[in-house]
Chains A and B, each alone.
Chain A
Amino acid sequence: MTTSLTKLPGAWERLTDTEWQAWVLTSASPAKGMLTAAPRPTREFEYPIPGGKVVISVEGDPPAWLDPTAEALAGLLYLGPNWDSYGAHPIDRVHVFAALDLLLLVMQDDTPAPTVVPTNRGGVQLEWHARGIDLEIETLSLHRRHVSFEDSATNDEWEGEVVSNLTPLVDCIGRLSRHG
């Protein structure tokens, strides 16, 4: 599956050229069509947001988690001020993009979809609570995330900030997929 995140109006304004180039993402998973060199169909999935839309291009079959997650993330941008009755800020679209970008980098095709949760400071939190695992990822900025992980089956737990090295997070995601 090749997935690219092509449009997120408003988020681009704070990106450098280097960050822009990094956003066309390619999964390492070969599709069946690669064996025969047959072209794989590309489909675009659109999710309305205030002032525009998010477009995700997928080559091959999209993973089951992609559509509900992208829809939930885009939906957060419709939350107005004080959406929690305690003065919460509207969600910053940079955090929506950061979450989508991260998921496209670390998720496997069979990983369960996360629960998408807004934070009162305008950020995004992705959560999984199943199979003895508790995993929470909070976007702090475009490339900084706070991760909290617990696995009751192994008593493993860790918490920390993940920036450029996504290996620990990829391992957590892998455990979510394997426990099924």
Chain B
Amino acid sequence: MDAYTDDPTIRDDAGLWRRIPPWHCVFDGNLGGVRPSSAAFEDHPDGSSMSVLLAEIVAETRRGAEAILAGHEDYGLAAITAGLARACGQGVARKPRSDEPAHAEVFGKKPKSVRKRIAKGSEWVLPPPNRLASDRPNL
């Protein structure tokens, strides 16, 4: 596995985008709305670090949130800041791909406490379009 180094050229206020599938959208009655589950901010099952998109690069490539969700129209798009990730003990590294110049990875151990903090600290760039049974208020 490549050794990752946190990239200081990615500012703390840089937006990191992540697609949120409908099954990871939960109603949080304590916060008063739908947010991503902590389960949405895991590392890849193959062991590689959590993929995100650098919002700045997405904008440079003249794309918007809708383009990022093309083919996943029932998803939401959530954003965290690089500063939040770093405050949770994570690093952020650019990992551009041939098909995605904005690709980056958030690396570091992600125990439940970290994933919860990231989930609660996220904001919707584009909220999920449909309310599922999972995000109904049960109480």
Q: Residues on A close to B: CB < 8 A?
A: 65, 68, 71-72, 76, 79, 83-89, 112-122, 125, 127, 129-134, 136, 138, 146, 148, 152, 159, 180
Contacts and interface: CB of A to CB of B under 8 A. Distances in A.
Contact of B39 (A72, A125, A132): A125
Contacts of A125: 37-39
B30 A132 contact: yes
B131 interface: no
B24 to A, nearest CB: 6
A121 B113 contact: no
A95 to B, nearest CB: 12
Chain B interface size range: 20 to 34
Given A136-B112, A159-B113, A121 B24 contact: no
Contacts of B79: none
Contacts of B42: 119-121
Given A83-B23, A120-B45, A115 B138 contact: yes
B77 to A, nearest CB: 11
B46 A87 contact: yes
B139 interface: yes
B81 interface: no
B21 interface: yes
Contacts of A136: 38, 112, 116
Interface in B56-77: 72, 75
Contacts of A132: 30
B17 interface: no
Q: Which of B40, B113, B138 has its CB near the most chain A CB atoms (within 10 A)?
A: B138
Contact of A129 (B21, B24, B27, B72): B27
Q: What 3 A-B pairs come out closest when comparing CB atoms?
A: A130-B29, A129-B28, A112-B138
A118 B116 contact: no
A86 B43 CA distance: 9
Contact of B29 (A121, A131, A138): A131
Contact of A127 (B19, B37, B72, B139): B37
Nearest to B20: A84
A145 to B, nearest CB: 12
B100 to A, nearest CB: 12
B26 A129 contact: yes
Nearest to A130: B29
A15 B44 CA distance: 29
